[in-house]
Every structure is written in C-alpha cells, then in structure tokens.
Amino acid sequence: MTADTVAYHVADGIAWVRFNRPEKRNCMNPALNRRMMEVLDELEFRDDVGVLVLSGEGSAWSAGMDLKEYFRETEAKGLGAVRQSQRESYGWWRALRWYQKPTIAMVNGWCFGGGYGPLYACDLAIAAEEAKFALSEINWGILPGGGATKVVVDLMPLRDAMYHALTGELIDGKKAAEWRLVNEAVPLDQLQDRVTQVARMLLEKNPAALKATKDAVRRVKEMTYDNAEDYLVRAQEAANFHDNTGRKEGIRQFIDEKSYKPGLGAYRRG
C-alpha cells in the first residue's frame, strides 16, 4: 500500500515501512509525520505483523527534517504551528520507541539530523556500508535538536559523539557501526537479505517476551541496579500475565522433551 509520503507492505510476518519522498531524500515534513503515525497505528496490533522494518525509498533513508516545510513555513504560522509540528514528529518517534512489535531500522542511504530520532527509536539498526550519516545542524547554525544530541550521547562514546556533533562531517555505514550508531553495516546489495534474516530470527521468539525485553532494555538504562532489579521482577510478572504459556512450554520442552537448548535457539512455538 502506498499513501503519498509513506509506503508499506506486509509479507511473511514483516511490515516493510518506507519513507516515501525520494525526490526530497525522504526528509520529514508535517504530512509525512502525520501519515507515519497513522501507519504505525494501523500495523501495531495486526496479527500478521511480527516485526516492523523502517527504510526509505530511493537513495536515502531520511535526510532529516524538511527545512522549507518543517521549519520555515511552519515557523511563519506562529508558535502554535511550531508546537503542533513538533508534537507530530516527536509523537511518532515516541510511539516507535515503545512499539508493540520489534523494530529494525534498515538504513539504505542518507541519514541526517532529524533522521536520528526514528533511527534511535528502532530497537535494532542495520546500515548499508555505503550509507552516509551526519549531524548537519552545526553547518546551518543550530544545535542538533529534536533529540539528536541525546541519541548520539546515548549510543556513542563521548569523544565520538562530540566530534560528530561539532564537525558535521559525513561518516559512512562502516564508521557508524564502529561508533555504535548502528548494530552493523553490510554492503548495500546484501542489506535487505541481512535485515530479513534478523527479522525472521525475531519472529521465532515469544511476542510477549520480546515486548517486555525491549521495554526493559530502554527502561533500566537510567535506573540504579536496585531499582532495575525490582522493575525486572515486576516486568516478568506482567509478561507472564499476558502470556505464561511461553515460559511453561519452553521449560517443558527443555526439561521433559529435551528437544531444544535455550542457549542455541528458541523453543518451538505453536
């Protein structure tokens, strides 16, 4: 299905969602941000979707915020329009961070500035070695806002984050992986195959456990050890409430059937 600024299709349990402004290097304007929230809502609880992959049409992932539409034209309408535009963009990034299903950023090309928001929001990120990353804000006289500074400080070593933000220099997918901005980088012609491989691995896991785990990883990062310990006990109990069959079946297959080993793969679902 294609609807103007966002395109998507679902195949074999994977929702392939794409920024769809290739002529603008998929920069995010207010229309795209509104549509992306609608698409995420449409897909989140579909039974035929187990993993969501976010990518871009054409040669870019996303070149960030649309300078003309998101900044100049919105600012000309006054503070109310600016705040509305911010709520729409930050809103779908926030929804993606806490999405019901695991998410993968498939970075096929340019990823600049505001594009770091959805990049960070995805649980995993795999880039083409040929992809280009930059915090270009410094080059046109502002700081990396919209969460971009938080993204690089959370994901990257401090010296690399500082260099990245202060210089605005381009780095490729290999360097982005080295600096931990993404999980890994592969040649562009292998990118979709590698993302599909990882998505299929996730599809083998228990969905309730996946949701609990991805939320836990984000939450405990800012907790003390004692607070995290308590949170994780409660999170496991909550996950068991939603789906206790997985835990019981996994233990049964391991202890009684001896049909699988947890360190080597997932238990047999269904």
pLDDT tens readout for residues 99-119 = 999 999 999 999 999 999 999
Q: Is the pLDDT of residue 266 over 80?
A: no
Say what the pLDDT of residue 244 is. Answer: 66
pLDDT tens readout for residues 238-254 = 888 777 666 677 777 77
- The two three-digit tokens of residue 4, written as one number: 């103007």
The secondary structure of the chain as a DSSP string is -EETTEEEEEETTEEEEEE--GGGTT-B-HHHHHHHHHHHHHHHT-TT-SEEEEEESTTEEE--B-IIIIIIIHHHT-HHHHHHHHHHHHHHHHHHHT-SS-EEEEE-SEEEGGGHHHHHHSSEEEEETT-EEE-GGGGGTS--TTTHHHHHHHHS-HHHHHHHHHH---EEHHHHHHTTSSSEEE-HHHHHHHHHHHHHHHHTS-HHHHHHHHHHHHHHTTS-HHHHHHHHHHHHHHHHHH--HHHHHHHHIIIII----TTTS-----
* Mean pLDDT over the full length of the chain: 91
Distances (CA, A) of 265 to 50, 191, 206: 18, 23, 12
In angstroms, rounded to a whole number, what is the distance separating the alpha carbons of residues 213 and 218?
Answer: 9
Average pLDDT over residues 17-41: 95
Q: Is the pLDDT of residue 3 over 70?
A: no
Q: How confident is the model at residue 75 (pLDDT cuts 50, 70, 90)?
A: confident
pLDDT tens readout for residues 32-74 = 999 999 999 999 999 999 999 999 999 999 999 887 887 778 8
Which value, in Å, is the radius of gyration of the alpha carbons in the chain? 20
pLDDT tens readout for residues 114-150 = 999 999 999 999 999 999 999 988 988 888 888 899 9
Q: Is the pLDDT of residue 1 over 50?
A: no
In angstroms, rounded to a whole number, what is the distance separating the alpha carbons of residues 129 and 143?
Answer: 27
Q: How confident is the model at residue 2 (pLDDT cuts 50, 70, 90)?
A: very low
Say what the pLDDT of residue 247 is. Answer: 67
pLDDT tens readout for residues 172-211 = 999 999 999 999 999 999 999 999 999 999 999 999 999 9
Q: Are strands 132-134 and 171-172 parallel, antiparallel or unpaired?
A: antiparallel
Q: Is the pLDDT of residue 269 over 60?
A: yes
pLDDT > 70: what percent of the chain? 95
Say what the pLDDT of residue 12 is. Answer: 98
**Where do we find the tokens 């994901």?**
155
* CATH annotation of 2-203: 3.90.226.10
- The two three-digit tokens of residue 259, written as one number: 């049909």
Contacts of 32 by beta carbon, 8 Å cutoff, 6+ apart: 5, 6, 19, 20, 21
